[in-house]
Amino acid sequence: MDRYCVFGNPIAHSKSPDIHAAFAAQTGQQLSYERRLAPLDGFAAAVQDFIAEGGKGANVTVPFKLEAVKVAQALTIRARAAGAVNTLHFTDEGIIGDNTDGAGLVADIVRNAGVPITGKRVLLLGAGGAARGVVLPILEYRPAQLVIANRTVATAEALVEQFAALGGEGVVSACGYAEIQGQYDIIINATSASLSAELPPVPASVFAPAALALDMMYGAQPTVFLQFAAQHGARLRDGLGMLVEQAAEAFSLWRGVQPETAAVLKALREQL
C-alpha cells in the first residue's frame, strides 16, 4: 500500500490524516496517511527516513514549510513563488516540492463560496508566509486589483516587487492599514493576528456590499476578524475550506484523481 504522511511539530492536532483517509475511501484509492512528528532540528532526516520506508509523498506544516524548499530537488512555479512547500512528491526523478495552499484558497473562494475573483477588487491583509503563498494563485484569476496591506509596509512592498513580473504589474500594490482606500469585494485575513484573538486595524469601510470576508484561521467560533466583518455586512468564510481544498490538490497531484470536497468539509465542520 502506498504511504503518505504529514510532517510537523507539533502534529497531533493535524486533520490531514482524516481528510486524506476520506478522499481515499471516496475514490477507492489504496493508501495510508499518517502523522509524523519531526524533531525541530531533524526535518530533512525525517523525510529521508520516510522515503527509505517507501513513502510516496508528504504534506509539510508548521514549522517546516521553508525548510522543505531546501529538501526538494525541484520546485513547481507556485512553490518557488510562495517561497514555501506544503506538499512533497517522491518520484523516480527525485523530490518535487509543491505548494497547494494558494490553489486551495482560490478553489474555496471560487468553487465553494461561488465568488468570482476575475475583475474583482481583492484586499489581502498580511505579508508573511501565509500571504505570500496565495498571491500568485489569486493573480492567475486576473482580479481588477490586489492590495496587500501590512503593519510593516516594507514587507508588503517586497511582495509587490516580487509579483510585478508574475502578472502583478498594474494590479498589485502595497500599503499600511491606515492608507487602505475604497471598498473591496474580497477581503482575506492572512495575518496571524487571529491566533492571539487580535484584529488587524482594517477600516470598517473596506467591505463592499455583499463582500466576502475570509480568514485563513478556523475554529468552533468565528475569529475576531470574521465577527468584525459580519458587523459590516460581509459574507463569512473561515480557513477550513482552504484546508480541505489544499489537501484535495495534493491528493490529486499524488494520485491523479480529483476528490470531492463538499462532504469532507461538512464532516470536519461538524467536528469543530
Residues forming the active site: 65
Specify the residue, 112 or 192, whose C-beta has the smaller distance to ligand ATR.
192
Of the candidate residues 5, 11, 149, 193, the single one contacting ligand ATR (CB under 6 A): 193
N-to-C CA span, the chain: 30
If one asks whether residue 192 binds ligand ATR (CB under 6 A), the answer comes out as yes
Stretch that binds ligand ATR, among 38-46, 89-97, 101-109, 187-195 (CB under 6 A): 187-195
| 48 annotated as ligand-binding | no
In whole angstroms, give the CA distance from residue 254 to residue 111: 22
From residue 161, give the alpha-carbon distance in Å to each of 61, 97, 165, 169, 180. 27, 24, 8, 9, 19
- In the complex, what is the shortest distance from the CB of residue 209 to ligand ATR, in angstroms, rounded to a whole number? 25
Say if residue 173 carries a ligand binding annotation.
no
Cβ proximity to ligand ATR, 76 vs 223, nearer residue: 223
Separation CA 123–CA 135 (nearest Å): 11
User: Rounded to the nearest 5°, which phi and psi values hold at 32?
Assistant: -120, 150
Using CB atoms within 10 A of its CB, is residue 232 exposed (0-12), middle (13-18) or buried (19+)? middle
Q: How far is the CB of 229 from ligand ATR (least distance, A)?
A: 15
Q: Spell out a b/e string for 172-193, using b for 16 or more CB atoms within 10 Å of the CB, else e.
A: bebbeeeebeeebbbbbbbbeb
Check whether 130 is labelled as a binding-site residue.
yes
Of 141-160, which residues contact ligand ATR (CB under 6 A)? Answer: 150-152, 155
Q: Is 198 in the site for ligand ATR (CB under 6 A)?
A: yes
CB of 105 to ligand ATR, least distance (A): 13
Nearest approach in angstroms of CB 51 to ligand ATR is: 26
Grid cell of 221 as nine digits? 467560533
Return the residue of 14, 76, 100, 191 that touches ligand ATR, per CB under 6 A: 191
**Which one, of 86, 80, 20, lies nearest residue 58 by Cα?**
86
Collapsed DSSP state (helix, strand, coil) of residue 113: coil
Closer of 31 and 122 to ligand ATR (Cβ): 122
Q: Of all helices (H) and strands (E), which one includes residue 1?
A: none
Question: Is 127 near ligand ATR (CB under 6 A)?
Answer: yes
> Annotated binding residue at 14?
yes
Task: Please tell me whether 126 is known to bind a ligand.
Answer: yes
CB of 82 to ligand ATR, least distance (A): 11
Asked if 83 touches ligand ATR (CB under 6 A), the answer is no
Cβ pair 30, 24 in contact under 8 A:
yes
Packing angle between helix 240-255 and helix 262-271, nearest 10 degrees?
Answer: 140
Which parts are annotated binding residues for shikimate? 14-16, 61, 86, 101, 218, 246
Binding site for ligand ATR (CB under 6 A): 126-131, 150-152, 155, 191-193, 198, 200
